[in-house]
């Protein structure tokens, strides 16, 4: 709807008539002789009003009262207000501008000056509103594009990780469980260890990147990957290389160095490192291991313990937790173990729900 209405608010008839005479050929005119009527007309015509002339001193609600009401309703964001007054008070001017007035003109009016200043303000507001609408539209388009790209990325990540699960004959739910456990641990890491400066976007990227932690298993021969018994020393050394094979695959897919690639690469390479330096492939220790890789490491170890594999039966959830806390699966960061302790019941609940569902199936 086109805005083409001026609202003139003044308790003196002659002042309203003068402004009406100046603008009636260009605009529709609404008049109010007090603040209460002004607010009523404003509510009825807020989508039509292009500018308001507002007297300061009136019976009942003053001009500043009306202006304050408009600020509370956010009307001054799109309806400019020109204060009309006979006073040259610095306090009045300051309050008017603090409340969002666009300009102040003093009585008696100079028609050409009032006309020019009014048209300038209307043009300025119109231009600003047009820019804001274009910016809002562009922001919406970018958000939609981002969401669409995220869906495509999620699809590709899940498809690729499913190939790994298919090759290793896992249940097909391992990746989703690791993502869920990763999110639980990150929730407590963000809450209690803000020094890592992880944003909501970082959390989402890390959770999605966790799905590719075992990508390199694609390159492990079936006779080793699917062996039901204990691996030989040579076979275990080959299994350990899946951390490096995964990184090689990621490098082949890399289009640019971004946060998601970094999380994928570091999780893939370092999720078998241990806090005491006894992990692989690089024998990193302490905080040299990226915290997101440490998080995924605990999530992966827990799920491996409570899940049935070709080479072992599942452990009970309480036993799995004990083994992690006691260091039987390697040493983990005290901070990450603290997050695991806080999330333990949620881990147990998720595992039991999964087992119950499997029993039904």
Q: Which positions are annotated as active-site residues?
A: 217
Measured in whole angstroms, the distance separating CA 144 from the mean position of its chain's CA atoms is 13
Show the tokens assigned to 255: 């289009």
CB 352 within 8 A of CB 317: yes
Burial (CB < 10 A; 0-12, 13-18, 19+), residue 330, is middle
| Sequence-separated (6 or more) residues with CB below 8 Å from residue 264 | 209, 212, 250
The β-bridge relationship of strands 5-9 and 28-32 is parallel
Closest by Cα among 48, 116, 59 to 82: 116
CB 37 within 8 A of CB 14: no
Q: Using CA atoms, how far apart are residues 340 and 70, in angstroms rounded to an integer?
A: 51
Q: Using CA atoms, how far apart are residues 132 and 144, in angstroms rounded to an integer?
A: 18
Closest by Cα among 24, 34, 72, 75 to 54: 34
CB 39 within 8 A of CB 66: yes
Show the tokens assigned to 320: 């799995």
Q: Using CA atoms, how far apart are residues 241 and 255, in angstroms rounded to an integer?
A: 24
Burial (CB < 10 A; 0-12, 13-18, 19+), residue 228, is exposed
Q: Name beta bridge partners: 309.
A: 312
């Amino acid at each position: 709807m086109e805005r083409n209405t001026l609202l003139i608010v003044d308790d003196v008839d002659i002042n309203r008539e003068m402004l009406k005479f100046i603008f009636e050929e260009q605009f529709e005119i609404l008049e109010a002789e007090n603040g209460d009527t002004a607010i009523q007309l404003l509510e009825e015509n807020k989508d039509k009003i292009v500018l308001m002339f507002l007297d300061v001193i009136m019976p009942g609600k003053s001009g500043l009262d009306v202006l304050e009401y408009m600020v509370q309703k956010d009307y001054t964001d799109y309806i400019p207000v020109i204060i009309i007054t006979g006073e040259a008070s610095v306090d009045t001017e300051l309050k008017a501008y603090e409340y969002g007035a666009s300009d102040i003109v003093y009585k008696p009016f100079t028609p050409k000056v009032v006309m020019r200043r009014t048209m300038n303000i209307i043009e300025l507001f119109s231009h600003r509103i047009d820019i804001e609408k274009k910016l809002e539209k562009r922001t919406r388009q970018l958000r939609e594009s981002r969401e669409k790209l995220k869906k495509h990325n999620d699809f590709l990540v899940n498809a690729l990780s499913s190939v790994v699960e298919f090759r290793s004959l896992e249940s097909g739910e391992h990746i989703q469980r690791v993502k869920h456990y990763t999110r639980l641990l990150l929730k407590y890491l963000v809450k209690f260890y803000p020094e890592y400066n992880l944003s909501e976007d970082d959390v989402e990227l890390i959770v999605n990147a966790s799905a590719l932690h075992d990508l390199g298993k694609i390159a492990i021969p079936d006779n080793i990957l699917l062996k039901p018994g204990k691996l030989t020393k040579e076979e275990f050394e080959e299994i350990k290389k899946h951390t490096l094979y995964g990184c090689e695959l990621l490098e082949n897919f890399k289009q640019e160095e971004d946060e998601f690639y970094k999380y994928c690469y570091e999780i893939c390479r370092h999720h078998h490192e241990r806090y005491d330096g006894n992990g692989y492939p690089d024998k990193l220790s302490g905080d040299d291991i990226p915290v997101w890789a440490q998080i995924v490491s605990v999530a992966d170890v827990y799920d491996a313990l409570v899940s049935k594999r070709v080479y072992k039966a599942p452990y009970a959830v309480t036993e799995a937790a004990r083994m992690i806390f006691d260091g039987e699966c390697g040493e983990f960061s005290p901070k990450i173990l603290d997050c695991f302790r806080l999330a333990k019941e949620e881990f147990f609940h998720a595992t039991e729900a999964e087992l119950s569902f499997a029993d039904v199936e």
